[in-house]
Amino acid sequence: MLYPPITPYASGMLPLDGLHQMYWEQCGRQDGQPVLYLHGGPGDGCAPMSRQLFDPWFYRAVLFDQRGSGRSVPRGELRDNTTQHLIADIERLREHLGIERWLVFGGSWGSTLALAYAQTHPQRVQGLVLRGIFLGRQSEIDWFMHGMRQFYPEEWQRFVAPIPVAERQDLLQAYYRRLTDPDPQVHLPACRAWGRYEGACVALRQNADAIERASSEYVALSLARLEAHYFVHRIFLPEAQLLQQIERIRHIPAVIVQGRYDVVCPPVTASELAQHWPEADFHLVEMAGHSLWEGGILQLLMEALESFKLRLC
């Protein structure tokens, strides 16, 4: 279903402030329809395969690694790293590239950031393609830390193993202390355990490559640190804000794709979003979990991108 592998026709490092620089790239058609890809995590970064989602003869695809993530530097940095900073970074990138408006594509944490950005700058968003919905509420954070145990008890046992029993009453804070410890002998094992936990739960059928990638030092360092940082700070947004401000984006065409058996971001969240936003096209995919790369989810996302070709012409 994907388009052939492609290399960027432009890329660079965009200075954001005195601390952060953000990696960005563009691929596809230089005068094409702009589309922004927002990766998950927070802290994950863009995989090269993500470029293959977008028809290179139609779309001008913009991908970037959010501050502290992937190729952006400093990697894993928590200072000056909030949802508001990320929204401002997107605007800085849009202006830097001379783009007036764009289609926004985001999954998991990328769906959170897409909604937050669209609600802040609705005049800049032509449409939204969202997958694996996460709204950052306390119940969703608690589910990640404890609820996924219901489906992956053996992975949860591995996840909590580095934490003494006495500290497991507040598992998030216990992890956060270790993940932010300056000693690599303390924070790296915690990063890898966190990354493995997430990587093991993302697909309907466990994927050894996904587990290996998520638990590797390169990915896990930024993924675990930034996810815990955003969870501890309740994603830097008031509880339920993304649902309460749907009126700001109700007029924007949107497609929501959700796996029926998504354990990381359970479908009840996507269903609530769809109920608040009946104008959006909501698709619940049978026999699919959380991963973008599962067949049914990928097919519907590719179809959504095809449909926006007609909507945006």
DSSP string, 252-298: S-EEEEEETT-SSS-HHHHHHHHHH-TTSEEEEETT--S-TTSHHHH
pLDDT computed for residue 302 by the predictor: 98
Torsion (CA) 251, 254, 260, 263 in degrees, nearest 10: -90
- 276 given a catalytic annotation: no
For every residue of 32-85, DSSP letters joined together read SEEEEEE-STTTT---GGGGGGS-TTTEEEEEEPPTTSTTSBSTT--TT-SHHH
pLDDT attached to residue 313: 79
**What pLDDT digit, counting tens, does each position of 295-312 carry?**
999 999 999 999 999 999
CATH topology of domain 10-137+236-312: Rossmann fold (3.40.50)
Among residues 261, 263, 287, which one has the least CA distance to residue 150? 263
- Rounded to an integer, the average pLDDT of 166-176 is 97
pLDDT in tens, 30-54: 999 999 999 999 999 999 999 999 9
For β-strands 10-15 and 21-28, DSSP reports them as antiparallel
Average pLDDT over residues 128-144: 98
Collapsing DSSP states into helix, strand and coil, what is residue 96? helix
User: What is the model's pLDDT at position 268?
Assistant: 98
Q: Is the pLDDT of residue 3 over 90?
A: yes
Q: Which of 215, 262, 283, 291 is catalytic?
A: 262
Q: What is the pLDDT of residue 110?
A: 98
Query: What's the confidence (pLDDT) of residue 227?
Result: 98
Percent of the chain, pLDDT > 70?
100
Residues 6+ apart with CB under 8 A from 207: 199, 291
Over residues 102-120, the mean pLDDT reads: 98
Q: Residue 61's beta-bridge partner residues? A: 27, 35
> What H or E segment, with its residue span, contains residue 11?
strand 10-15
Task: Give mean pLDDT, residues 146-166.
Answer: 97
- CATH 3.40.50.1820 maps onto the chain at 10-137+236-312
Q: Are 225 and 309 in contact (CB under 8 A)?
A: no
Catalytic annotation present for 262: yes
According to the model, what pLDDT value does residue 266 have? Answer: 98
Choose the catalytic residue: 20, 39, 187, 290: 290
Partnered with residue 257 across adjacent β-strands are 131, 283
Instruction: Please tell me which residue in 50, 108, 215, 222 is annotated as part of the active site.
Output: 108
| Backbone angles phi and psi of 57, in degrees to 5 | -90, -5
pLDDT of 136 reads 98
**Neighbour-count burial of 56, counting CB atoms closer than 10 A to its CB (0-12 exposed, 13-18 middle, 19+ buried):** middle
**Residue 39 backbone dihedrals phi, psi, to 5 degrees:** -75, 170
Report pLDDT for 191.
98
Confidence of residue 9 (pLDDT cuts 50, 70, 90): very high
Residue 172 has pLDDT above 90, yes or no: yes
Instruction: Enter the tokens of residue 186.
Output: 């303390």
Distance CA 120, CA 19 (A): 24
What letter would DSSP give residue 5? P
Q: How far apart are CA 9 and CA 256, in angstroms?
A: 30
Per-residue pLDDT, 158: 97
The H or E element spanning position 26 is strand 21-28
**270 CB contacts (<8 Å, ≥6 apart)?**
132, 133, 256, 258, 282, 284
**Residue position matching structure tokens 């900073």:** 85
pLDDT for position 1: 87
Active site residue 216: no
pLDDT band, residue 224 (cuts 50/70/90): very high
Per-residue model confidence (pLDDT) at position 154: 97
Burial 69-98 (b: 16+ CB within 10 A, else e): bbbbbebbbbeebbbebbbbbbeebbeebe
Residue 15 has a pLDDT of 98
Neighbours of 209 (CB within 10 A): 8
Tokens found for residue 268:
């009840």
